[in-house]
Chains A and B, each alone.
Chain A
Amino acid sequence: MNDQNPVDNRKALSWLEGDEQMLVKIRAIFVKNIPAQVALLKESLDAGDAALVERFAHSIRGSAAMMGAGVMSDEAGIIEMFAIAGDLDSARAGYSRFFGAYERVMEALASGGGCDACPGGR
């Protein structure tokens, strides 16, 4: 993971086998969908619903990984593991770290931090 960039486009492009146009398209889907999922994760944490926490954390973890957002994916994974263990306090504690990672990813994407084909360039 590149500390300077919360989104590793090489990783994202690796599973897309270098298709930058495709990366642009899925980035748009990610940006459109991920805020609602993060909000649902927060709501389920607040409601103490471990099953929902696990489900949303899992989804976010997968989507972030596909975008090359390794830190965000890892942090979501930690929340998911705590939720599976039923330890929602630890999950909540992890949420702030996750949210920080999430914000950095969204900023990077908004500034075009990604492939040459993405708006704003690399």
Chain B
Amino acid sequence: MHVLVVDDDEMVRFVLNEKLAEVGYTVTDACDGQSALELFRGTAFDAVLLDLKMPGMDGITTLREMRRHDPDVPVIMVTAFGDISTAVEAIKLGAYDFTEKPPQLSRILVTLKRAIEKAALEREVRSLGKSAEESMVLKAACEKLKELDKMKTAFLSSISHELRTPLTSIIGYAEIARQKYCKLLSSITPNDEKVVRVIGQIDANLDILVSEGNRLADLIDNVLELTALEAGTADICSDNVSLESVINGVATEFVEQFKSRGLDFSWEIEADLPSVVGDSRRLSHVMHHLFSNALKFTEQGHVFCTAGKVQGNLLVSVSDTGKGIPETLHRTIFDKFSQIGETLTDKPKGTGLGLPICRLIIERHGGNIWVESELGKGSTFTFTLPAFREIG
């Protein structure tokens, strides 16, 4: 602690220098107000002991200047023979306290210690106040961001609905045109090669229109599902669901697809697997997406699914021998619009919404989902769900 002693009396300066140094203070002294101010402006003092009556600049003027420069440093006035009126004036100007001359050392030490502690506390309180203020600003900004996020979600949901309705008509009429009118035209003019060729071309174009339309419809459905899950407005059932039935159902759908790609596909479900409380349609969606991903990203080898019970939770894994996922993407892959296709092939395979939807569905069911993967060796997607009860 650094104390500035200002007194025109050499005896006072000498004694205070010696005695304060004995108890650990660093002391600088000045014999008048002017030189004290110069020191004060250039050094960070923790406290000042200031004589009231000095030649030249008096104690009151010196105090006023010190307060103007740094109001936080406590100043203790030292006044001869109890000049109370001047001491009171000093207190009004912001002096911490005053002590009479000759300065009683024990009193000065106590006053000095209290003054320094009070100044430190005031600094801390100000700092805490500032932190609280910053915290309030951050909280307000956070609330604003949440509000904007809600608005964005509502907008996305609204615009998706608006897109979905006409798209349904487009796909429907394209399907009708392809299935009904093309066949009809072909049957009317079966011998005109040119007409047959044109009809075939129209048929192929309509096929693309329906296929791309369905892809767009899937994307919009995913956006709608994601926004509903994020906003907490998704209507999730709380049924007693047999995960074994869900896995068996979805896996069976994929048997032929894996086979046609030359991939070995199998699944193994632990006997007497407990049920879960949840939404079977959405849990089926999760399984569908995990099998679909494995199909997309596995060129050769096998895809294997297991389901079992681990410490009160159901644990389901889908492993493949695909190209794997870089470690840097293991967490972000569950974020919106994160597409692993970009890193594995020349073009993205998917919308970047499938895994985020899976994550939200699993989280809404009280579980977790994660991926373990090694480049060139394959990936394993695993999720947990709280077990409800044993199915007898």
B residues at A contact (CB < 8 Å): 8-12, 14-15, 18-19, 53, 55, 80-81, 101-106
On chain B, the residues within 8 Å of A22 by CB distance are 15, 18-19
On chain A, the residues within 8 Å of B10 by CB distance are 29, 33
Q: When the two chains form their complex, are residues B14 and A66 in contact, meaning their CB atoms are under 8 A apart? A: no
CB distance from B153 to the nearest CB of A (A): 75
Q: When the two chains form their complex, are residues B80 and A17 in contact, meaning their CB atoms are under 8 A apart? A: no
Q: Can you list 14 A-B pairs, Cβ within 8 angstroms, ordered by A? A: A15-B104, A25-B18, A26-B11, A26-B15, A30-B11, A33-B11, A59-B8, A59-B55, A62-B12, A63-B11, A65-B80, A66-B11, A66-B101, A66-B102
15 extra A-B contacts, CB within 8 A, seeds A59-B9, A59-B55: A15-B105, A16-B15, A17-B105, A17-B106, A26-B11, A29-B10, A30-B11, A62-B9, A62-B102, A63-B11, A65-B81, A66-B11, A66-B12, A66-B102, A67-B11
CB distance from B106 to the nearest CB of A (A): 6
How far does the alpha carbon of A58 sit from the alpha carbon of B86 in the complex, in Å?
15
On chain A, the residues within 8 Å of B104 by CB distance are 15, 17
Q: How many interface contacts (CB-CB < 8 Å) are there between A and B?
A: 49
Q: Which of A14-38 contact B (CB under 8 A)?
A: 15-17, 22, 25-26, 29-30, 33
How far does the alpha carbon of A63 sit from the alpha carbon of B104 in the complex, in Å?
14
Given contacts A16-B105, A17-B106, contact A62 B80 (CB under 8 A): yes
How far does the alpha carbon of A15 sit from the alpha carbon of B78 in the complex, in Å?
14
Q: When the two chains form their complex, are residues A58 and B15 in contact, meaning their CB atoms are under 8 A apart? A: no
Q: When the two chains form their complex, are residues A62 and B101 in contact, meaning their CB atoms are under 8 A apart? A: yes
Q: When the two chains form their complex, are residues A58 and B102 in contact, meaning their CB atoms are under 8 A apart? A: no
Contact pattern, A 48-89, Cβ under 8 Å of B = 1, otherwise 0: 000000010011011101110000000001000000000000
On chain A, the residues within 8 Å of B106 by CB distance are 17
The interface size bin for chain A is 10 to 19
How far does the alpha carbon of A62 sit from the alpha carbon of B80 in the complex, in Å?
7
Closest to B101 in A: A62
How far does the alpha carbon of A62 sit from the alpha carbon of B11 in the complex, in Å?
10
CB distance from A57 to the nearest CB of B (A): 11
How far does the alpha carbon of A117 sit from the alpha carbon of B15 in the complex, in Å?
17
On chain A, the residues within 8 Å of B9 by CB distance are 59, 62-63, 66
Q: When the two chains form their complex, are residues A61 and B105 in contact, meaning their CB atoms are under 8 A apart? A: no
How far does the alpha carbon of A61 sit from the alpha carbon of B14 in the complex, in Å?
18
Q: When the two chains form their complex, are residues B103 and A15 in contact, meaning their CB atoms are under 8 A apart? A: yes
CB distance from B254 to the nearest CB of A (A): 94
How far does the alpha carbon of A119 sit from the alpha carbon of B275 in the complex, in Å?
102
Most chain B CB inside 10 Å of its own CB: which residue of A16, A59, A62: A62
How far does the alpha carbon of A30 sit from the alpha carbon of B15 in the complex, in Å?
12
Given contacts A22-B18, A26-B15, A58-B80, contact A15 B102 (CB under 8 A): yes
How far does the alpha carbon of A45 sit from the alpha carbon of B55 in the complex, in Å?
17
Q: When the two chains form their complex, are residues B102 and A65 in contact, meaning their CB atoms are under 8 A apart? A: yes
On chain B, the residues within 8 Å of A26 by CB distance are 11, 14-15
On chain A, the residues within 8 Å of B81 by CB distance are 61, 65, 77
On chain A, the residues within 8 Å of B15 by CB distance are 16, 22, 26
On chain B, the residues within 8 Å of A58 by CB distance are 53, 80
CB distance from B57 to the nearest CB of A (A): 13
